[in-house]
Every structure is written in C-alpha cells, then in structure tokens.
Chains A and B, each alone.
Chain A
Amino acid sequence: MLQPSKTVTTTCPYCGVGCKLELHIDANDFIYKVTSPFDAVVNHGNLCVKGRYGHDFIYHKDRITTPLMRKVPQKPGARTQAFDPAEWQPVSWDEALDYTTDRMAEIYQRDGSPAMAFYGCAKATNEDNYLLEKLLHTQFRSNNIDHCTRLCHAGSVVALQMAVGSSAMSNTAAEVIENDVFIVTGSNTAENHPIIAIQMKAAVRKHGATLIVVDPRRVEMVDYATLWLAEKPGSDVAIFSAMAHVILKENLVNHEFVDARTDNFAAFEASMEKFTPEFAEQISGVDRNLIIQAARMYATAPKAAIYWTLGLSESTHGTDNVLSIINLALLTGQIGRRATGLNPLRGQNNVQGASDAGVMPWHYPGYQRVDDEKSARKFEAAWNIEAGGLNRKLGLTTTEILSNVRPGGVRALYIMGENPMMSEPNLNHTRTEIEALEFIAAQDLFINESTAYADVFLPATSWAEKDGTFTNTDRRVQRVRQAIAPRGDARPDWQIICDLAKRIERRLGREQSSYWDYTHPSEILSEMGRVVPEYAGVTYTRIEHEGLQTPVWDETHPGTADLFTETFPSGKGKFHALDYRPNAESPDADYPLVLNTGRVLEQWHGASMTRHSHLNDLYPEALVEIHPSDAARLGIADRQAVRVTSRRGSIVLRAKVTEKTTQGVVFIPFHFFESAANELTLDKLDPQAKIPEYKAAAVRVSPATDAELFHPEISQPRGRY
C-alpha cells in the first residue's frame, strides 16, 4: 500500500464551485491521487472527474518550464504561430523579462496608453490578478484589461449591477436543498458545475424541492425537473417576462417587498403588458400552459431561487435576459432571504475573484469605476501615483481589444493564461487581429493556439506550485497552497509580474514606486483588502482552514452567506422595462439551423489543461449534437462525419444524433482546436455588456467523409452520451 510522502489541502483549479482537495504526493513531487475531506463545507467529500483526476497536465512533456523567445522576429501583419519547439530559443529569465520590458516600454513611449492591452486570467489567483491590473494601471496608465468574464457572465454582471448594485451569487450554493422551488436556466449544471448539480439532484429527490428547467437542450437536470420549458434559443426575455405577466395578472405579486424595496415598478408593469403567454409561446415554442404553471410555482413558493449560467448571458441581448429574471425575483420578493435569490453560477475557479480584483476595463479592484474621480484619486493614493496620473477613460473589453488592433489602436498585448484563439467568437477575424499585433508576451503553461503567436513566453507555475487564494462562485475566498516545487524554471505568476513591474518602472523612469517587493502572496491580499472594502477582513490566518464569504467588512466580520437581507447595495432594487429582441442572426434557407455552443464534463474551456491530461481520453473529439428528426432529414447517421458551416467558417466533426438537443438546434462544445466551434460563432455584441452571441449562430450541416476529419482514428463512445 502506497504511503504519500505528504498530503496538501488546497482548492480545485477547475470550476467555480471551489471544491476542497487533498493532494497525495510521492517523493518525486508526483500528485498520484486526489481525495476530499468529507467535512468540506462546499463539496462534502464529493468531486467530479476533473477535480479528482485532472491534474496530470502539470507533468506533461509539452509543459514549458524555461523562458522562450522567438528565433525569427515577428512583424505586425505577418505574425505566425510557432508550435514547434525548434522555432523558440530558450533564454534566461533576465533576458526574457528585459526583452519584454524593452518592447512594451518602447511601444508605450511611442504610442501611449491606448496601445497597451492586457488579458488577465480567471484561473490565476486573486493575488496574481490584482498585481496584473496594478501593473497596467500604474505603469502604462491604461484601462485596456479584461478577462474571460466578458465572454461568460458579462451580461449577468452588468444586469445585476444595474438592478441591485452587486454582481455575484446572492446566496450560497449549498442552500439549494432548502429551496421549495428552483429554476435552472441556460445551465448544463450536471456537466459544468457537477458538485452543485448533485446538491440540486438531492434537493429534488431527497428534500422535496420542485425544479423548473428553462433550456433549449435536454440537459441532464431535466431528468429531475417537474417542468421543462424547451425554449428556442434566445427567447428568454419572452418566457420570463410572460411569467411576470402572469404573476401581475393573477396578483401573485409580493406587494410588501415591491413597495418597500424596489423602484420603477410602474414602467416595468406597463412594459409587461404585451408579454402574454400566447405571445411568449409564439416566440419561444413553449406551451403557454407550462409558462403559466412555472409562474405560479415560482411566485407562490415560500422559498424560490433562480440559478443560471451562460445560456442567458452569452447573447446580444444577454443583459436583457438577465434583467428579465431579476424582475421576477423583485416582483415576488424571492431575494434577500435564505434559500432564495439570484444565483449566477460562475464558470471559472476564480472568475469571481479576478473580477473582484479589478481585471476589467471599467473598474479598479472592488468594482470602483475608473471614470469616477473619487475612485481614481483613491487608487492614485494607494499606488503612489501623482494626482491625475491614472487614466479616467473606460478601457477596451476582451473582444474590443482584439478588434482594435491597428496603428493608433492596440499594438502590444500581454496574455496571462488566456487562450483567445479558442475562446473568442469568429476566430478567423480574431486571427487576423492577433497577427497584426506588434508585440505579444505570453505567461502560461503551454504553447497553445494563442501563446504560439507570442514573441516571448514566460513560463508560469500551475496552481499546485504556488500559494494564493481563489474566490468561488458563492464568494468564498479559499486558500490555494503550494504543494510541489515549481517544475523546471517556471515561476509563480505574482513573482513574474513583480519582477517585470520593477523593470518597467525603472525603464520608464517613474519617480515613485507603486511597490512590488512582496515576499509572500498574503501581503498582496492584505494590500487588496485595504482598497477593496469587501475584502478588508479576509486574511490568510482567518482562511487557513475554511474560506470566508465576501463581503467581509473587517477582521471580526464573519462573512456573508446571503446578500441583500436588509437592503441592496444600490439602495432599492430597480425594475427594468423590457422589450423582446430577436437574436442577431436568424436561421434562413441557406443556414437553416441554430448553432448553440458550450462545454462537456471532461474538458475545460480552451482545453490547455484537459487536453494535456488523461481527461482527454474520455472525450477526445468534438461531436456535434443533432436532433434525430434533423439528422433523418439531412441523411446523417450517428457518428458520421459532417461539415458544419456558418457565414464565418466551416468545420468537420462527427455527429451525435441525440434528443439532448431540440429540433432545429445543433450543439458543439468549443474545446477542440481541430474543429473549433468559435470559427462559426459571430462576434456581434450585447450593447451594454459587450458579450458576444455564442449561443445562436445560423449554420448548415452537410454529410462529410471520415477522410476530412482531423484524426478519424480517435473515437471514444461513452455510455452516458
């Protein structure tokens, strides 16, 4: 029987649930087994396939552990991808950092702040992300920094800020077992938040809760649902507003709550008049009676909550979609109490934290706006910047950064851990933009589709090789612990950033230092706590054993499980009048099907981690889900190679004929570079949240041959699909 040479308790690096892990490590620093303590507050000893088995990427032979520079200098417009190690020159850290400093300083001194852009990373720690935005703000005086939150929950964040003034889950995920009724919409919870999903299943099967699923896919949670509203993609506003219409007409309104705690009711009520169940049925394809039943169930339940993910927010009307469910919660008072609430399940392990840490173009840490004079002054003082030194102009969002590459626009891009060449919509367009950049620095673990474009590669450590904190989906700040020594010459992100910042500060001749001499990440979190009131009471000592849920206002504050119990941060909750808008692209004769995109259990996002893990064996190739009736009409058999084409691109992959998708809709996971779903998606943005429409592109599907597949020999049929 194998005895570990040590075990280390830490937090899972995959999804936003934030499960506690115990890593079992042998004498060679090999993490050979992962368990979880059964008294863990978030996951009670349960894990999913990624959390339990998906950490072998750390040791993969393709991991980069030495700083690299491109052998052939790259020119804007003629930039190429270098996947072959022979195209890179191993260099010392000094050389790599000096080169990065020189190139970025040169571009900044020539073209100024607008030329500089940074991508932060929702997989990295709070400390890493805080320092990255501090570097950009203080040294390049730019606000062009964003991360993948823009591509996932931007619609939710913006809508929640508009309506209640806060943008996180209002309640704790584990409270789902206390719900009487809960709505899951736009979320494939069983695959993307597996541990919250098993709590939802228990809520239904063991605790008597009633589940309503509103989703165009027959996701696994439908098996547990009392009602499934199988809507057409993009009809969310119609459905949820029709529910509001029913609640208003049948007077199921919580008048006490509406009177005491909300604003703008009259305008909202007037706008709901047209959303009759008949109108919603026409738009969504959902039987009006189901909508009426759902409305009554939600409104009359003692405790009801809504859980949602990207099906709502990744839309050109993503903000409206989320406002439509916020309206419902305000109308019925299903918020501000335990086991109720508005609960966006956050995707990445630390997307909540990276957002809190200010890796966003309109905010400093703690959602303090860059165009607010008072906030700017506050951060100038905190960071030793001369008065008026920080940039007051809103920065560019993720997608805007990679559509503003040109002389006079963005020239230099620093990428920490993101893989925009997989995650951006309309990749063919993204590619031409990246190729036009003058300089790219990449801080990552692997040469992936994006870092292959870089001039310089700075090898970072994985989560198991550094200390820090992640903030999970229910705002719980938890410890991440260094379990093994850094592989090769890899260095923790926070150290790379500090080292680089000091060099840039010297190179630019800044008179005062903004301070980069941290000896441990705990000092960085303390600094963040001094500028972000919600983190003021979070210290490493306090979260040694259990995390704390923000806001934690001071060092004696116990943390906050449920938000808005007394009031909303914006004072009153604001109703929003809504109108229905169709998707940017509707199916037509040439492109008759709607493409929906998303993820699968065994892979993760751009898949830099999971495709360097044995996880890849479990789901090795992209499959397009197609409904049996569509497949029959097109003459497509299960597992047959097909070509999927949109106005922007075309990919070949195998078909999965299944009723998991609805008629007229096909679904492709976006993890696979060989048949990248985002070659097909469109880069139309929500006007408020700037989030692209990943969930509805018009496509056509036609039979193809096995020879057109990237690797026809790879196939892994699974019982569960």
Chain B
Amino acid sequence: MADPVNLTVDGISVSVEPGTTILKAALQAGIDTIPTLCYHDYCTPNGLCRVCVVEVEGSRTLIPSCCTKATEGMKVTTRTPRIERARRTLLEMLASTVDLSDAPDAQQMITEYSAAPQRFPEAAQRRYPVLDDNPMYIRDYNKCILCWRCVQVCAEDAQFTYAINFSGRGFETRIDTFYSLPILSTTCVVCGQCVGVCPTGALKARREWQLEQGQSMDEIIAASTDDRTLRKRSANRQQP
C-alpha cells in the first residue's frame, strides 16, 4: 500500500489513504460540519454546488472539499468568515431562483448560515411546467438545483442508461432528455435511480406527488383507463 497522506484539518492532524478527498479526511478527523448539497456518498463527486468549500493554506481560491484530494502537508480550515460568506451567498442565490420547499437540508443550511434570499428581490425565478409524462415519476425542474446526481446515476454511477443530461447554458441550464423527448421515448428504463438520489423533490414518485396534489389513494389506484390512454396519446404525439 502506498504511503499515507498527512494533513491537518482545523488544526487536527490526520493520516489518510492516498486519493482521499478533503471532505472524507475531515470526517476522519472527526469534523462532520462541512455542509454539502450536490454531494452524495454513492455518486461521483463533482463540486458543482460549492457549499462544501474550505480554505487551504497557500491556495488563492476556496476549494471544494468533496472532490479535491488531500495532499501531503495540506492545512485545511473548514469554517472562516470568508467561507461562511461564500456559503451564505450561494444559498441566497439558490433560494432566490429555485423552489427549495422540498429540500429540508438546504432549508436548514439557510437558517444555519443566516442566508437572506430577499437580498436578491429582482432575481429571475426558474419556472418550468411540471413534466408528468409517464406513470411512475414526475419531473418538477422548478425545484432542481442542478446537482447532477440524477444524470450520474443514469450513467456510470449506476444504470448505464444515459437518458438525461444537462441542456442549455448559464441561467437556462437544466436537466433534460435529448431533444426534450418525453421520457418514454428515450432510453429510460424507469428504474428511478434518479428519483432515489434527488435531494430537492424535483424528481418524485408519481404516487407521492398525486397524494400531495390532494388526490386520495382510491382515486390514484382507480386512475381510469381514459386518463392513462390520454397520457399515452400525448406522449405519442410528441414523438418526432
């Protein structure tokens, strides 16, 4: 085995296996207070949301801890005014454009960091119609924070199906199927790995969503053939 990597996190010395991320090294040092949003233990980390940033001595910028590997002699600080300000601003920007009502972790973070989304009263909201194009799950991209977990489990992190990816640029960036096809016209196998890792309720089991819409269990189960046929027809019509 290769030599261990020695570093300090908030002054605590820790030895980790080569390849360990700063986030995991911090955990090993007993520090479990680095917040994460896009990170998932069973997905490849990408450092997209940036709330897990930390300061590393000698580094000009803040460093995303979820995807940066620890190196020999690294000195990491996990909470400073600079870090707090970065995290707070990120949360404010996120909350001012995205519906976080189904994201308890993000809400808790907003409270913890005293983030004030109202700082950006003119912020444009990301507004999309809820996509209800199959019998099993809905896609409500008003709630999407673009964490990329769904794309990754649809690809090499789990399913190797590649039905979804990013589309658009900048503010218009969103998760979509290729050519915005209805989900059943794609390679989707409806496994729901994406639903399983969605942190904000943007992807949701259709049954759960129907209950939230006020439908009763009996109504959901009795969903008439007409309704199903209609849905199918609309899915078929959108075929290229």
- Give A contacts to B, CB under 8 Å: 1-2, 24, 26, 28, 30, 32-36, 38, 44-49, 52-53, 56, 59-61, 194, 198, 201-202, 205-206, 224, 601-602, 614, 617-618, 713-720
Contacts and interface: CB of A to CB of B under 8 A. Distances in A.
Given A2-B208, A28-B217, A720 B189 contact: yes
A614 B236 contact: no
B159 interface: yes
Interface stretch (B46-54, B89-97, B179-187): B179-187
Contacts of B236: 715, 717
A26 B207 CA distance: 11
Nearest to B195: A52
B205 A34 contact: yes
The 5 tightest CB contacts between A and B, nearest first, are A52-B192, A49-B190, A614-B135, A30-B217, A32-B207
A2 B136 contact: no
Interface string B135-170: 111000000000000000100101110010000000
B41 interface: yes
Contacts of A46: 153, 158-159, 191, 193, 196
B199 interface: no
A58 to B, nearest CB: 9
A265 B222 CA distance: 62
A1 B207 contact: no
B232 interface: yes
B135 A617 contact: yes
Given A1-B101, A717-B239, A32 B135 contact: no
Given A46-B159, A52-B195, A206-B156, A618 B190 contact: yes
Given A49-B136, A617-B228, A716-B232, A32 B190 contact: no
Contacts of B217: 26, 28, 30, 32, 59
B221 interface: yes
Contacts of B59: none
B201 A1 contact: yes
Contact of B221 (A24, A52, A60): A60
A202 B191 CA distance: 16
B229 interface: yes
A719 B188 contact: yes
Contacts of B137: 53
B156 A205 contact: yes
Given A1-B104, A717-B184, A719-B188, 6 more contacts: A33-B205, A46-B191, A201-B160, A601-B189, A614-B136, A720-B188
Nearest to B185: A719
A34 to B, nearest CB: 7
B102 interface: yes
A53 B221 contact: no
Contact of B211 (A2, A194, A201, A614): A2
A198 B205 contact: no
B3 interface: no
Interface of B: 41-42, 101-102, 104, 134-137, 153, 156, 158-160, 163, 181, 184-193, 195-196, 201, 205, 207-208, 211-212, 217, 220-223, 228-229, 231-232, 236, 239
A49 B104 contact: no
Contacts of B222: 61
Contact of B192 (A28, A53, A224): A53
A205 B212 CA distance: 40
A718 B184 contact: yes
Contacts of A618: 134-136, 184, 190
Given A53-B205, A719-B186, A719-B188, A617 B232 contact: yes
B159 to A, nearest CB: 6
Given A46-B159, A52-B195, A618-B135, A718 B229 contact: no
5 contacts: A30-B220, A46-B196, A53-B190, A618-B135, A719-B184
Contacts of A56: 207, 221
A711 to B, nearest CB: 10
Contacts of B229: 713-714
B160 A33 contact: no
B228 A48 contact: no
A59 B218 CA distance: 8
B193 A47 contact: yes
Contacts of A717: 184-185, 236, 239
A54 to B, nearest CB: 9
Given A46-B191, A720-B189, A38 B42 contact: yes
Contacts of B208: 2, 24, 32-33
A319 to B, nearest CB: 34
A52 B206 CA distance: 11
Nearest to A53: B136
Contacts of A224: 160
Nearest to B201: A1
Contacts of B193: 45-47
A348 to B, nearest CB: 20
Contacts of A1: 101-102, 104, 201, 212
Given A194-B191, A617-B232, A36 B196 contact: yes
A600 to B, nearest CB: 11
Contacts of B195: 52
B232 A715 contact: yes
B101 A44 contact: no
Contact of B189 (A49, A61, A714): A49
Contact of B158 (A26, A32, A198, A713): A198
A206 B152 CA distance: 14
Contacts of B159: 46, 198
A34 B195 CA distance: 10
Nearest to A26: B211
Contact of B191 (A24, A52, A60, A201): A52
A59 B229 CA distance: 21
Contacts of A44: 42
A556 to B, nearest CB: 32
A2 B158 CA distance: 27
A580 B134 CA distance: 48
Nearest to B190: A49
Contacts of B156: 202, 205-206
A205 B205 CA distance: 29
A33 B137 CA distance: 10
A719 B196 contact: no
Contacts of B102: 1
Contacts of A617: 135, 228, 231-232
Contacts of A716: 184, 232
Contacts of A205: 156, 160
Nearest to B182: A719
Contacts of A53: 135-137, 190, 192, 205, 207
Contacts of A720: 186-189
A61 B221 contact: yes
A177 to B, nearest CB: 13
Contacts of A32: 205, 207-208, 211, 217
B191 A48 contact: yes
Contact of B196 (A24, A30, A47): A47
A695 B168 CA distance: 48
B42 A48 contact: no
A205 B134 CA distance: 30
